[in-house]
């Protein structure tokens, strides 16, 4: 059930009349105060913060999670200020609070909206127990460049998948009613286009044609608004020459006028002040003018609104009515949260943190997020009866903190179950577990331990390698130009391979890693992202075959960094590549170089395909798709058509498959992608079992923005595929008619 936004929630409750009356009592300084969010003190309330709260000069405080201090902040605002307006308490609750879930791109690999919703609900309850009532999540930036550090915080490369999972997060955070205990306000970020930062460098410029912006980058935000998200955060980047924090096209035309959003807009940290750094404004006063005029309601961290809005009103450049609207937007959310009636948090609610249910959901999320990329010769699952010893090697095998990933300010490493711990528990006394970290960190270049690692590997029946990136290597401002395994991890793999034992790699990372240099050196490979608190337990379950891997990639894995951006739903081009037309750089005929190149859109040294495509993920069983059909060939605009296929488990393991539906619009007013995800289902099958998987496609699902930036549905021919990845081969077609 989708949440309602702030003003829908207070409709008919007297809320609108209440906040309008409250607004009428406010001075200009108090109004501006509601537009100001400030960082809290560490373990006390500074005198200046106390005074500002008492004077009604602050509307929100962030980064305080001591429930006693939060209650005291609320007490000062409610009981010592003239009007008693409660505070929004903001915190980055990105993928869990104390109980840490997989990083968001890992959660996206579950392709399980209900599980994602449950995870956000748990995070909200844990955060709310400390007084936090607002989180800066979900991040809905479409991410096609794994060099970008914040790909870890994203939901991947596809607008449909990101929309479905983003809506689930909003619903999980906000619940069915924002005023319910344990519900917190959600903030969709970063509006908009942040994931297209040039060169994958955080904060860098984004240049996105409006048609691409509307057809790809804005879609998840529109879904979040429709789901009732209460706040939207602006991007740090400029978008087509105008920083998002001063971008009237985004904040007023699209967000307010077209989508009818009536929550509030918050800047990112210091991004109003940074307008002058961008070169858009010459000073803080002009930055305040541009941001408020464009549609920013609340300024995070910096003080340009506080210092300059009153003078801008006095000069007639900003109307007080414009400020009034921003204040109403914020007060509406506070009212919907129930803060005017219940501003305080019961400290006893802390007992709900890291309870068995929360840990169970974290474990399931980790298990379903792990993607098996390779499994030659049935190296997995491990068969206990055939093992006397196991080598567990690698810097991430026993790292309680690193497996939590980025954005875990409140995460507790003491709750973590590491892979080594879980494997030892599972092995018991029957299997000897021989452990060596091999490297001090994932970035280490010290090979002095390699001889000892080789000895351990030779003395074991199989080798489990735990490799990847430390948590510090992904996240905000943690971008990489080279996305191979850092340090000498590739040499570690090569060293272990020489020992002649089966090698199973488990990689924990905050982004897709280029694996070309190791993929042939391992027998099996599980990609575990940063799996969170229960990551080790989930990994052990999969390694020993208690469950079959079911994760699917939410983002393509390039063969080489030079292929970036590489994503499944590209355009066809006038000279589309094909396997038949590929000529490798080493095979060019020196006597006739121009006639042997193929003349299509590919790289001479890496072709045109990723190493692993969007939607890919192996299982311990084998799934077979057949008998695709549409219930009819033609449908009119405004109608639906049902596409189905038979899915059979032809292997030996009980498992879940994620069946995926892709569509191609063959001819459009603007060129359309070669494939677009339009549906997915988790299907559980026992060996030999067959089920029919059906998807309903409404003509509205085929809509796109045309060359005039109008949303249209065009009649014409469509191709449709059902399968286990974006490379699905089973296809049929249908026609849309007027």
What positions carry a catalytic annotation? 268
Q: How far apart are CA 4 and CA 17, in angstroms?
A: 19
661 sits in the region (left: phi over 0; alpha: psi -120 to 50; else beta) called: beta
- Of 347, 343, 289, 279, the C-alpha closest to 319 is 289
- Of 192, 270, 273, the C-alpha closest to 238 is 192
Task: Spell out where 203-287 has E strands.
Answer: 231-234, 238-239, 242-243, 264-266
The structure tokens 């970008």 sit at: 148
For residue 32, the surrounding DSSP H or E stretch is helix 28-34
Q: How far apart are CA 271 and CA 266, in angstroms?
A: 10
> Are the C-beta atoms of residues 177 and 9 closer than 8 Å to each other?
yes
> Are the C-beta atoms of residues 657 and 677 closer than 8 Å to each other?
no
- Of 177, 189, 187, the C-alpha closest to 337 is 177
686 CB neighbour count, 10 Å cutoff: 10
> Are the C-beta atoms of residues 70 and 128 closer than 8 Å to each other?
no
Q: How far apart are CA 408 and CA 419, in angstroms?
A: 19
Residue 632 burial (10 A CB sphere; 0-12, 13-18, 19+): exposed
Residues with Cβ within 8 Å of residue 564, at least 6 apart in sequence: 144, 145, 146, 147, 200, 558
Tokens describing residue 78: 């409610």
**DSSP assignment string, 274-327:** THHHHTS-SSHHHHHHHHHHHT--BEES--HHHHHHHHHHHTTSS-HHHHHHHH
In Å, how far are 57, 631, 714 from 643, measured between CA atoms? 57, 7, 19
600 sits in the region (left: phi over 0; alpha: psi -120 to 50; else beta) called: beta
Q: Is the peptide bond before 130 cis (omega within 30 degrees of 0)?
A: no
The conformation of residue 179, written as its DSSP 8-state character, comes to T
Alpha-helical (H) ranges within 35-176 are: 47-54, 67-75, 104-108, 113-128, 159-174
């Amino acid at each position: 059930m989708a949440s309602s936004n702030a003003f829908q929630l207070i409709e008919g409750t007297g809320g609108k009349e209440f906040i309008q009356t409250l607004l009428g009592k406010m001075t200009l300084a108090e109004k501006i105060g509601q537009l100001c969010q400030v960082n809290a003190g560490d373990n006390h309330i500074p005198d200046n913060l106390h005074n500002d709260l008492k004077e009604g000069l602050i509307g929100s405080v962030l980064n305080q999670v001591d429930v006693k201090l939060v209650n005291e902040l609320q007490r000062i605002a409610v009981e010592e200020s003239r009007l008693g307006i409660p505070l929004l308490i903001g915190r980055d609750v990105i993928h869990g609070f104390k109980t840490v879930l997989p990083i968001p791109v890992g959660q996206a690999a579950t392709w399980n909206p209900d599980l994602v919703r449950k995870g956000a609900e748990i995070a909200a309850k844990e955060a709310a127990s400390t007084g936090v009532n607002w989180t800066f999540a979900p991040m809905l930036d479409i991410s096609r460049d794994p060099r970008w550090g914040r790909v870890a915080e994203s939901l991947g490369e596809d607008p449909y998948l990101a929309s479905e999972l983003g809506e689930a997060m909003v619903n999980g955070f906000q619940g069915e009613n924002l005023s319910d205990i344990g519900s917190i306000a959600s903030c969709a970020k970063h509006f908009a286009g942040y994931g297209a930062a040039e060169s994958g460098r955080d904060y860098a410029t984004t240049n996105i044609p409006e048609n691409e912006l509307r057809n790809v980058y804005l879609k998840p935000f529109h879904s979040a608004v429709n789901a009732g998200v209460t706040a939207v955060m602006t991007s740090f980047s400029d978008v087509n020459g105008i920083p998002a924090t001063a971008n009237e096209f985004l904040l007023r035309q699209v967000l307010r006028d077209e989508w009818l959003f009536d929550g509030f807009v918050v800047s990112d940290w210091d991004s109003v002040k940074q307008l002058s750094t961008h070169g858009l404004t010459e000073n803080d006063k002009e930055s305040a003018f541009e941001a408020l005029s464009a549609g920013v309601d609340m300024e995070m961290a910096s003080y340009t609104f506080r210092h300059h809005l009153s003078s801008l009103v006095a000069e007639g450049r900003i109307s007080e009515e414009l400020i009034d609207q921003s204040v109403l937007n914020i007060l509406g959310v506070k009212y919907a949260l129930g803060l005017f009636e219940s501003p305080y948090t019961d400290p006893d609610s802390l007992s709900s943190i890291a309870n068995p249910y929360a840990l169970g959901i974290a474990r399931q999320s980790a298990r379903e997020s792990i993607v098996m990329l390779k499994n030659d010769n049935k190296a997995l699952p491990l068969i206990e009866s055939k093992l006397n010893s196991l080598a567990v090697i690698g810097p991430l095998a026993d790292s309680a903190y690193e497996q939590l990933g980025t954005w875990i300010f409140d995460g507790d490493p003491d709750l973590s179950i590491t892979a080594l711990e879980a494997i030892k528990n599972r092995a018991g006394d029957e299997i000897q577990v021989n452990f060596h970290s091999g490297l001090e960190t994932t970035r280490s270049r010290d090979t002095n331990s390699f001889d000892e690692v080789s000895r351990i590997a030779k003395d074991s029946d199989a080798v489990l390698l735990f490799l990847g990136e430390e948590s510090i290597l992904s996240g905000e401002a943690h971008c990489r130009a080279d996305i191979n395994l850092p340090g000498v991890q590739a040499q570690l793999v090569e060293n272990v391979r020489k020992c002649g034992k089966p090698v199973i790699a488990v990689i924990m990372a905050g982004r897709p890693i280029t694996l070309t240099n190791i993929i042939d050196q391992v027998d099996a490979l599980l990609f575990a992202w940063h799996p969170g608190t229960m990551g080790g337990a989930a990994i052990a379950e999969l390694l020993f075959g208690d469950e079959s891997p079911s994760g699917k990639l939410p983002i393509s894995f390039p063969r080489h960094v030079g292929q970036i951006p590489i994503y499944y739903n590209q355009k066809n081009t006038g000279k589309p590549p094909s396997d038949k037309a590929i000529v490798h750089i080493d095979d060019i005929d020196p006597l006739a170089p121009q006639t042997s190149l193929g003349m299509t859109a590919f790289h001479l040294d890496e072709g045109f395909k990723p190493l692993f495509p969007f939607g890919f993920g192996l299982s311990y069983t084998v799934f077979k798709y057949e008998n695709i059909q549409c219930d009819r060939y033609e449908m009119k605009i405004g109608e639906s058509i049902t596409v189905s296929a038979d899915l059979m488990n032809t292997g030996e393991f009980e498992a879940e498959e994620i069946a995926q539906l892709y569509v191609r619009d063959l001819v459009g007013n603007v060129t359309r992608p070669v494939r677009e995800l339009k549906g997915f289902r988790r299907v559980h099958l026992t060996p030999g079992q067959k089920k029919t998987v059906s998807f309903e496609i409404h003509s509205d699902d085929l809509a796109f923005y045309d060359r005039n930036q109008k949303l249209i549905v065009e009649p014409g021919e469509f191709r449709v595929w059902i399968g286990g990845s974006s490379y699905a081969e089973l296809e049929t077609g249908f026609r849309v008619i007027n």
